[in-house]
Amino acid sequence: MSEEDLKALTASVARFTVPEALLTAEEVGVLCGGYSARYVMEKLSKVLGFPETVRLPLPNGKLGDPHWRCGEIREYLSTLGQKSRPGRRRNRVVSA
């Protein structure tokens, strides 16, 4: 691995640790477990509770591609396992 590759890798890893960093759909897919950018755009971004997109204005006045804040994505991912499971509670009968 060359020194340039190592610097690029270090910068990429550092980007995922800064909460205010804006991530692209590709980077969100990597952070969420290897999803494609298309899957992030079409499916994940529409899930209830998924963080809002940030669209920065382009020089021509239009809005750019969607981005997400790294801290919000990490918080969303950490709360996924803490939600209660759907369905009704079952009465457990303990036999003696």
Task: Give residue-wise pLDDT tens across range 28-84.
Answer: 998 888 899 999 999 999 988 899 999 989 999 999 999 999 999 989 988 886 655
Residues 6+ apart with CB under 8 A from 35: 28, 29, 44
> What is the reported pTM?
0.67
What CA–CA distance (Å, rounded) separates 39 from 26? 9
What CA–CA distance (Å, rounded) separates 55 from 36? 20
Greater pLDDT, 24 or 19: 24
